[in-house]
């Protein structure tokens, strides 16, 4: 029995010999050059560009042995940090250090804990995966000292690099494995734990900057039909997307989260463009061409209002702004963009409506030819007096004011408007800063969608189809009520697989300019009167004739009224109630 | 173990059966379209309307939500069954009130159709 007890004691003693314990810790220890002596900048105040210390501390748990040799392995995310080397706080000691490129990953041994640095030293392994698949750069510090390595034994120096918002700073520096030894006594520390801190995970506040972009769409536009993304100006003066920035459809409220890739140093902008992608779960998704959208934006109401502004120049013919209420209306009416709104512009606009839109809007990239964006704060300062000083270029770009380094939450609001959208029916409504201008403008809002007296501004219309002598005859009539109508526009769709369009007969006021144009299966028709005190009455009638491609017994659904527009003598857009 | 031998083939059989997918109710062309409350129709469907007299009527398709009438057809009825066709390619998808109106625009028949 005594022998057994002695054997056990001997075994325990021998085991204790092989489990010398020490802890290793990685601790933030202030800026390398503190602005105030004897003060340590809090870790939460660390910012991009700062150079700082991470101290390596050895806590020897043994009284009989001292650490004289240390081989400590770490990793750090070299996308976020620049390693500046190691300082030695102890006398008579020096550190060997080396770092490798971030082409490896550290495969932790599953048979031991992550913080068991000695176990990992023996059983983990590095695996080459290439730069794309690794964000961690390995590094080592090794010291063989004549004295004891205890307390803060090494001061690692790092510098924060510029990173994009949302960068993952977890485990951005981490103790991976370690080997400690008492060379004088020939003892290896077989119990080396990472404690209390194995990793450094601080997130600089500036990298948590958020940025939100919003286009203030009017109700008449569907925000999800537009897409966009964050861009920055590169060295070649070209707008490029930051590597991790998104490009996606705008939300139903017109917002776009631009936090990813956003920073406060580069020149930045958001590009918004037409997407037109319509999700249709019943019949399959499709793309709505920009041209189709644009024909709703510039209509007979815009043309009539533009003519009204030109014609109503006062008794001496030298007044402006009797019909337009906002400076942006003059800018939109200047469709040839020569800096002057005049009859040249009105006739170009009229040709849009009479002949269909010109070639540029048929291109998939057509929006840039007609869209304009302004920061909302600037948009609201555009008046009838100062509009000529403001750029009237069409663009997809929304330049961002992003250089305020004290700001953490950026919110950009952008107004959208269009070349030719004189009545602002599809533009952000200005909220004028100038009180006098604002008071005048609010007296009259031209676009029907923004009017308050909606019922008063409604007239009724009807489309009836019938078979007459084997032809499909379509009759459009209207009841103008008390309105003095000077312009109408109807967009009809027809089943081009079953019908062929023949012609149209106009029964309108003799002084009206009538128009019709056909684009695939859409017919655009209407009238405009430019002579004072002449109007389109309730006897106005449009009769269209189609030839069926085969035998028909009836016509239900073959021709439909898609959109309508009408305008009265004072340039107010009217709503056509379709019956 | 024996039980498992029975259960596993049963599970396999069940796994191989196709999922049940509910089909939308299509219009039965043998009944008067106005005798049902709501119908799904597609391009070229024919439907039946019964009239007691010969007259000129108007068939209207009005959007259920916006109240916009997309199209009207004027047609002359015959006594008894009238077989008509609906063409949907030029009509936007949606839910519509399908109405028959007399010459004074009074609604005499009404139902809902989905296109």
DSSP labels for A302-367? HHHHHHHHHH---TTS----SS--SHHHHHHH-TT-SS--SHHHHHHHHHHHHH---GGGGSTTGG
Test B87 with A493 for CB contact under 8 angstroms: no
When the pLDDT of each residue in chain B is averaged and rounded to a whole number, the result is 79
Rounded to the nearest angstrom, the minimum Cα separation between B6 and chain A is 42
Q: Which two tokens stand for residue A487?
A: 């312009």
Residue A175 vs residues A374, A391, B3: alpha-carbon distances, Å: 51, 57, 55
CA distance A72 to A390: 63
**Which residues of B lie closer than 8 Å to A, measured between beta carbons?**
58-59, 61, 68-75, 83-93
Facing B61 at nearest CB: one of A462, A494, A557: A557
Residues A528/A487, Cβ–Cβ less than 8 Å:
yes
pLDDT band at A213 (very low <50, low <70, confident <90, very high): very high
Tens digits of residue pLDDT in A43-91? 999 988 999 999 999 999 988 999 999 999 999 999 999 999 999 888 7
Q: Which residues pair with B71 in a beta bridge?
A: B61
- Which helix (H) or strand (E) covers residue A295, if one does? helix A290-297
Residue B96 vs residues A266, A480, B60, B84: alpha-carbon distances, Å: 53, 26, 9, 17
Q: With beta carbons under 8 A apart, name residues in chain A contacting B61.
A: 556-557
Q: With beta carbons under 8 A apart, name residues in chain A contacting B94.
A: none
Tens digits of residue pLDDT in A23-42? 999 999 999 999 998 899 99
Q: What is the mean pLDDT of residues A221-242?
A: 95
Tens digits of residue pLDDT in A102-130? 999 999 999 999 999 999 999 999 999 99
Rounded to the nearest angstrom, the minimum Cα separation between B108 and chain A is 16
Q: With beta carbons under 8 A apart, name residues in chain B contacting A462.
A: 69, 72
pLDDT of residue B9 exceeding 70:
no
Test B74 with A560 for CB contact under 8 angstroms: no
Tens digits of residue pLDDT in A490-522? 999 999 999 999 999 999 988 899 999 888 889
Domain range annotation of chain B? 22-114
CA distance B25 to A209: 53
Tens digits of residue pLDDT in A446-482? 566 666 565 667 889 999 999 999 999 999 999 998 8
Q: With beta carbons under 8 A apart, name residues in chain A contacting B87.
A: 495, 498, 555-558
CA atoms within 13 A on the CB side of B40: 5
Q: What is the mean pLDDT of residues A281-310?
A: 86
- Which helix (H) or strand (E) covers residue B12, if one does? helix B2-16
Facing B90 at nearest CB: one of A553, A560, A579: A560
CATH architecture of B22-114: Sandwich (2.60)
- Which helix (H) or strand (E) covers residue A525, if one does? strand A522-528
pLDDT of residue A275 exceeding 60:
yes
Among A117-126, A286-295, B24-33, the minimum mean pLDDT is found in: B24-33
Interface test mutation site (partner B, options A554, A561, A576, A579, max chain B beta carbons within 10 A): A554
**For chain A, first and last CA: distance in Å?**
111
Test B74 with A465 for CB contact under 8 angstroms: yes
Q: Which of A225, A268, A266 is nearest to A258 (CA)?
A: A268
Strand order in the sheet with A51-60: A81-87, A151-160, A51-60, A21-31, A191-194
Q: With beta carbons under 8 A apart, name residues in chain A contacting B75.
A: 466-467, 554-555
Chain-centre distance for alpha carbon A380: 22
Rounded to the nearest angstrom, the minimum Cα separation between A466 and chain B is 5
């Amino acid at each position: 029995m005594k022998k057994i007890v002695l054997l056990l004691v001997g075994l325990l003693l021998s085991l204790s010999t092989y489990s010398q314990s020490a802890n290793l810790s990685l601790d933030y220890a202030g800026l390398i050059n503190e602005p105030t002596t004897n003060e340590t900048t809090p870790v939460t105040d660390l910012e991009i560009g700062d150079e700082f210390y991470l101290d390596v501390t050895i806590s020897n748990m043994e009284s009989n042995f001292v650490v004289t040799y240390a081989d400590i392995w770490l990793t750090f995310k070299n996308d976020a940090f620049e390693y500046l080397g190691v300082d030695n706080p102890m006398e008579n000691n020096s550190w060997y250090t080396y770092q490798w490129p971030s082409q490896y990953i550290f495969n932790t041994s599953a048979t031991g804990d992550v913080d068991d640095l000695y176990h990992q030293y023996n059983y983990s392994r590095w695996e080459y995966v290439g730069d794309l698949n690794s964000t961690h750069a390995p590094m080592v510090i090794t010291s063989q000292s004549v004295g004891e390595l205890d307390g803060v034994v090494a001061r690692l120096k790092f510098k924060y690099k510029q990173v994009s918002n949302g960068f993952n700073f977890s485990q951005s520096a981490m103790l991976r494995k370690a080997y400690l030894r008492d060379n004088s006594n020939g003892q290896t520390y077989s119990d080396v734990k990472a404690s209390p801190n194995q990793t450094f995970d601080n997130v600089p506040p500036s990298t948590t900057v958020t940025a939100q972009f919003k286009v203030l769409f009017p109700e008449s536009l569907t925000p999800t039909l537009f897409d966009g993304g964050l861009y920055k100006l590169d060295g070649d003066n070209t707008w490029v997307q930051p590597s991790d920035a998104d490009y996606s459809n705008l939300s139903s409220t017109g917002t776009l989260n631009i936090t990813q890739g956003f920073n406060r140093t580069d020149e930045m902008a958001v590009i918004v463009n037409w997407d037109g992608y319509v999700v249709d779960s019943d019949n399959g998704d499709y793309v709505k061409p920009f041209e189709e959208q644009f024909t709703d934006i510039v209509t007979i109401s815009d043309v009539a209002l533009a003519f009204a502004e030109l014609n109503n120049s006062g008794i001496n013919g030298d007044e402006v702004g009797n019909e337009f209420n906002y400076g942006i209306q003059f800018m939109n009416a200047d469709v040839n963009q020569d800096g002057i709104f005049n009859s040249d512009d009105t006739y170009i606009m009229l040709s849009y409506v009479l002949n269909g839109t010109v070639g540029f809007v048929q291109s998939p990239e057509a929006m840039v030819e007609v869209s304009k964006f302004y920061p909302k704060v600037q948009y609201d300062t555009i008046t009838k007096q100062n509009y000529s000083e403001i750029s009237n270029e069409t663009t997809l770009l929304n330049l961002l004011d992003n250089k305020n380094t004290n700001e953490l939450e950026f919110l950009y609001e952008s107004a959208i408007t269009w070349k030719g959208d004189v009545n602002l029916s599809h533009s952000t409504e200005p909220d004028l800063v100038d009180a006098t201008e604002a008071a005048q403008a609010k007296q009259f809002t031209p676009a029907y969608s923004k009017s308050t007296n909606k019922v008063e501004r409604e007239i009724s219309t009807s489309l009836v189809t019938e078979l007459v002598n084997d032809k499909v005859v379509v009759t459009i009539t209207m009841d103008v009520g008390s309105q003095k109508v000077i312009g109408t526009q109807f967009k009809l769709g027809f089943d081009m697989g079953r019908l062929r369009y023949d012609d149209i007969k106009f029964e309108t006021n003799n002084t009206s300019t009538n128009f019709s144009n056909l684009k695939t299966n859409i017919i655009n028709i209407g009238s405009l009167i430019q002579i004072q005190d002449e109007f389109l009455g309730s006897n106005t009638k449009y009769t269209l004739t189609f030839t069926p491609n085969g035998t028909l017994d009836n016509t239900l659904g073959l021709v439909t009224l898609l959109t309508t527009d009408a305008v009265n003598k004072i340039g107010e857009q009217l709503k056509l109630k379709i019956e | 173990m024996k039980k498992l031998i029975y259960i596993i083939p049963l599970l396999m059989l069940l796994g191989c059966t196709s999922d049940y997918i509910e089909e939308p109710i299509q219009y039965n062309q043998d009944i008067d379209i106005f005798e049902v409350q709501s119908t799904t129709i597609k391009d070229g469907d024919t439907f039946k309307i019964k009239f007691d007299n010969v007259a000129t009527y108007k068939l209207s398709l009005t959007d259920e939500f916006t109240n916009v009438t997309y199209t009207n057809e004027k047609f002359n009825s015959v006594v008894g069954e009238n077989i008509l066709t609906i063409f949907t390619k030029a009509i936007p998808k949606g839910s519509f009130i399908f109405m028959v109106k007399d010459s004074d625009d009074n609604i005499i028949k009404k139902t809902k159709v989905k296109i």
